[in-house]
Structure 1
Amino acid sequence: MAIDFPPSLTDTIVALSTPPGVGAIAVVRLSGPDAIRLTDEVFAGKRLRDQPGHTLHYGTIRDDGRILDEVVVSLFRGPYSYTREDVVEISTHGSDYIVRELLALLLRRGARLAEAGEFTKRAFLHGAFDLAQAEAVADLIAADSALSHQVALRQMRGGFSQELKDLRARLVKFAALLELELDFGEEDVEFADRTGLTQLLQEVQTLVQRLLRSFELGNVIKNGVTTVIAGRPNAGKSTLLNALLNEERAIVSDIAGTTRDLIEDEVSLDGIRFRFVDTAGLRDTTDVVESIGVERTLKRVQQAAIVVYLFDITTTSPAQLEAEIEALPLPTGTTVLAVGNKLDAASEAQPAAFRARPGTVLIAASQGTGLAELREALLAQVRGAGLDRTGQSTIVTNVRHARSLEQAAQHLAAVLAGLGAGTGTELLAADLRHALAALGQITGEISNDDLLTSIFTEFCIGK
């Protein structure tokens, strides 16, 4: 894709690339045609313009003879750098004062403060990677679980992009033949084999639908699984939360209605981040504060991906359990996992009444009994969505990508319908062009300034 670089992208930019605040080291990064020259003007050490790329240099930063700090300068010459431009990274001591003074000094020398995501935007515009890979950089930085890291890394290394390019390449050949038919419209000739095109579209549509189905799982991996622990008072919800987190996070008491507000915390199970929410016990109450807690519980249930409905097996019958679950305001797609607690206090007959119920786990939260089975049951809900533990399957995690895939699927369906109905070449070609454009928007083969601005402003300044 030929790129016409606006003047702002030929400036030399500078920004702090490490988190702001006091630390051992801070890294100030420059990128652009004058990155090396500007650094040379303030760096006392080897003359950087005479040094090869991928080298480190020790020296001092000076401002009109005043030594600001002792630093190490990393030199990267384009195109062998992150942005494909000349890049200099100055490692200073992590003082806010030093960083402010250094940035001000470089700005006075002619650098411009980088915009959010501008280093990665330049890398994209210079062809270092495509748009989907660029977005994966932000996902990789934000990854806070083994799986979210794995998925982001695979996307950043081009796994998703390659799959999309293969899809587009298969469609482009037929699209070109349809366009050729339009050029010879008056001669009533067909260059594109309709049977072959139908078969290809069905295969591509199957792949697109698989990617769309993976988005639900990808959203879970990226954002975590909201898991609400609900149930009647004194079922042991706070005890269960503490046991899952392995810490005393919630107050535990025999007094009914102790928990009156939501208590949330996260834990990683086999690389998947679960956000557990302890809630107020569900019951009718005249206590104003407890009523507010119950109302909040019901609202949180409506936002949950999984509801762990905890019940006391010593006081609950199977019929009561079914009625209580039936009364929950569950949205479509929310899974309910029935968990019977206080196994240690139950008679032999009481747990037997629930063992035959599908999807029921029996535990003693205070003793830690059955927690391994509960964790496996929670993981099974996610793995049931098609989780590939090898990391080789492409998983869509980005809302923008999912929307583009939906658009592509709609236009591919229109082409298939048109082929079945004998629709003219002009309409078939138009729908196929729209499908190709939707796929191209994901990788940036087809993009516009508004789209790029929207994407890269989500990045941090120094990236």
Structure 2
Amino acid sequence: MKYTTTQWDETIVALATPPGIGAIGVIRLSGPKAIDIINSLFPSKDLAAQASHTVHVGYLKANGKAIDEVVVTLFKGPKSYTGENVVEISGHGSPFVLQQIIDACIAAGCRLAKPGEFTQRAFLNGKLDLTQAEAVADLIASNTAASHKNALHNIRGGFSAELKALREQLISFSALIELELDFSQEDVEFADRSQLYGLVSGAIERVSKLAHSFQLGNVIKNGVSVAIVGKPNAGKSTLLNTLLNENRAIVSDIAGTTRDTIEEILNIDGILFRFIDTAGIREHTSDQIESIGVEKSLEKMRQADVVLYLFDVNSMPVEELVAVKEEFDKNGFRYLLVGNQVDKGDEAFVRDRYAKAAPFLLIAAKQGLHIEVLKERLVDMVLQGEVTTEDTIVTNARHFHSLQQMLQSLSDIRAGLDNRIPGDLLALDIRRALHYLGEITGEVSNEDLLDYIFSKFCIGK
């Protein structure tokens, strides 16, 4: 998505609501001629003479023919989303009618907007910084309460505010150290090294926390994959059906019924869990199709964020369960051992029997016994109690990478202060930290990066 200077002077148009039939469709224009173009198609009123943030009803016409009765909303720059003149046309939601309106706007002097161009103009005009602009896309894509809350927090500048305060302090110290270089012959220090040390130490702690939050942020944004594995007839498909509260997987007493993996998504406390019901794992089977299913199960287990190992408390040998636990530990899996069909025996006896393999959960999938406890444990495994959704949470891989680089630069500054390195070298480390901080907010950016970021937006945003 390459732009020339003249392209930023053009007026753009796009459908801002999803394509398809609906009651209302909204078309957005932005640019210096937005009001003039709609004014030429809207004979009911002189829009150029109207105040900003006003709504007007009338017929939109092209070549003397009425296209639709519409509602026109005016937003005069710079008090608009993009910082430019913006007009939004609310018309009836016929795809044919909406396309007629867009065609009329193009004939009158607009061009079609590129993906994310409205928000990119808002960024370039100083209405949003880059983290806020990216949060707009996250808000549009949010599908849980947690992802919605985090995106809204960042749009309001929660993440930006933390970085802005740190940036201003680092710039202040950098300026003082640069000033020292001008008086190097006098051997004076304008920057209080102890104060800078305290600032950097506090920044390292905060940036480390932000970087660490990416693990949770990735979960909030993309969900958690949970592979349900175990021996044939352990009740994996029954558990999936119970979690979903529907008969999604085929259940039978015949070993090897599930031949392929089945994936379903469940929202638990605002986090998306993608449960994967796998074929039962057994070492020897003469069925070629089942063998392929077992291999897929092992592959899904290696790829999953969490492995839920389900075992039948009435048939699983203790030593075998202990061996499974040791194997999972050795491979570094995040796992949960879950004993099924506890309703068929004494729960206290079962707990004592499998004490060597603790910790584990006991459930009865078919009866729905302790399923809520299982859900709570899964959420606890993801959140780990270390970061709460009230904090600023990093969900963007680009931000995470820049935070890691920034953390290294801050560590270099602190090490330089410990070793009392010269001011010119200290200034270099501070400038490097400011560079990575600016990459996040967009104060340091390049055209290719911006093109990539905004190309992932929808057309009308």
Return the alpha-carbon distance in structure 1 between the equivalents of residues 328 and 381 of structure 2.
19
Corresponding residue to 1:423 among 400, 421, 424? 421
Corresponding residue to 1:438 among 436, 439, 442? 436
Matched, 1:371 2:395: no
Residues 181 and 5 (structure 1), Cα distance of their counterparts in 2 relative to 1, 3 Å cut:
farther
| Matched residue SS, 1:81 | coil
Moved more, 264-273 or 41-50: 41-50
Return the alpha-carbon distance in structure 1 between the equivalents of residues 429 and 387 of structure 2.
33
1:268 matched to which residue of 2? 267
Return the alpha-carbon distance in structure 2 between the equivalents of residues 447 and 272 of structure 1.
33
Return the alpha-carbon distance in structure 2 between the equivalents of residues 190 and 65 of structure 1.
75
Residues 65 and 355 (structure 1), Cα distance of their counterparts in 2 relative to 1, 3 Å cut:
farther
Residues 33 and 157 (structure 1), Cα distance of their counterparts in 2 relative to 1, 3 Å cut:
same
Corresponding residue to 2:451 among 426, 450, 453? 453
Return the alpha-carbon distance in structure 1 between the equivalents of residues 341 and 76 of structure 2.
66
Return the alpha-carbon distance in structure 1 between the equivalents of residues 26 and 83 of structure 2.
19
2:339 matched to which residue of 1? 340
Matched, 1:156 2:155: yes
| Matched residue SS, 1:290 | helix
Moved more, 349-358 or 92-101: 349-358
Structure 2 contact 322–356 (Cα < 8 Å) conserved = no
Corresponding residue to 2:401 among 392, 400, 403? 403
Return the alpha-carbon distance in structure 2 between the equivalents of residues 136 and 384 of structure 1.
25
Residues 109 and 453 (structure 1), Cα distance of their counterparts in 2 relative to 1, 3 Å cut:
same
2:66 matched to which residue of 1? 67
Structure 2 contact 259–293 (Cα < 8 Å) conserved = yes
Amino acid at match of 1:359: P
Structure 1 contact 298–328 (Cα < 8 Å) conserved = no
Q: CA deviation at 1:329?
A: 9.4
Q: CA deviation at 1:30?
A: 0.3
Structure 1 contact 302–331 (Cα < 8 Å) conserved = no
Q: CA deviation at 1:356?
A: 7.4
Structure 1 contact 313–351 (Cα < 8 Å) conserved = no
2:305 matched to which residue of 1? 305
TM-score w.r.t. the length of structure 1 is: 0.95
Moved more, 430-439 or 316-325: 316-325
Q: CA deviation at 1:352?
A: 3.3
2:286 matched to which residue of 1? 286
Q: CA deviation at 1:420?
A: 2.1
Residues 453 and 329 (structure 1), Cα distance of their counterparts in 2 relative to 1, 3 Å cut:
farther
Structure 2 contact 268–375 (Cα < 8 Å) conserved = yes
Return the alpha-carbon distance in structure 1 between the equivalents of residues 135 and 318 of structure 2.
47
Return the alpha-carbon distance in structure 2 between the equivalents of residues 440 and 404 of structure 1.
9
Moved more, 257-266 or 282-291: 282-291
Structure 2 contact 321–357 (Cα < 8 Å) conserved = no
Q: CA deviation at 1:355?
A: 5.9
RMSD: 1.8
Return the alpha-carbon distance in structure 2 between the equivalents of residues 427 and 303 of structure 1.
44
Return the alpha-carbon distance in structure 1 between the equivalents of residues 38 and 459 of structure 2.
20
Instruction: Please list the CA deviations of residues 65-120 of structure 1 after superposition, one character each: whole Å capped at 9, or x if unmatched.
Output: 22222211112112221112111111112222112222111111110111110111
Q: CA deviation at 1:186?
A: 3.1
Amino acid at match of 2:303: Q
Q: CA deviation at 1:22?
A: 1.8
Matched, 1:316 2:316: yes
2:24 matched to which residue of 1? 25
Moved more, 151-160 or 56-65: 56-65
1:13 matched to which residue of 2? 12
Return the alpha-carbon distance in structure 1 between the equivalents of residues 460 and 200 of structure 2.
43
Structure 1 contact 343–351 (Cα < 8 Å) conserved = no
Return the alpha-carbon distance in structure 2 between the equivalents of residues 329 and 380 of structure 1.
19
Q: CA deviation at 1:238?
A: 0.6
Matches within 5 A, 1:109-120: 109-120=108-119
| Matched residue SS, 1:307 | strand
Instruction: Please list the CA deviations of residues 180-221 of structure 1 after superposition, one character each: whole Å capped at 9, or x if unmatched.
Output: 122222333222232332222111111111111111111111
Return the alpha-carbon distance in structure 1 between the equivalents of residues 351 and 86 of structure 2.
66
Structure 1's unaligned 5+ residue stretches are none
Amino acid at match of 1:386: E
Q: CA deviation at 1:57?
A: 1.6
Amino acid at match of 1:294: V
| Matched residue SS, 2:421 | coil
Q: CA deviation at 1:250?
A: 0.8
Structure 2 contact 25–93 (Cα < 8 Å) conserved = yes
Instruction: Please list the CA deviations of residues 402-427 of structure 1 after superposition, one character each: whole Å capped at 9, or x if unmatched.
Output: 11111111111112222222322211
| Matched residue SS, 2:28 | strand
Moved more, 88-97 or 213-222: 88-97
Amino acid at match of 2:415: A
Aligned length: 457
1:130 matched to which residue of 2? 129
| Matched residue SS, 1:153 | helix
| Matched residue SS, 2:354 | helix
Q: CA deviation at 1:328?
A: 5.0
Return the alpha-carbon distance in structure 1 between the equivalents of residues 299 and 219 of structure 2.
20
Percent identity, aligned pairs only, is: 53
1:143 matched to which residue of 2? 142
Return the alpha-carbon distance in structure 2 between the equivalents of residues 328 and 216 of structure 1.
21
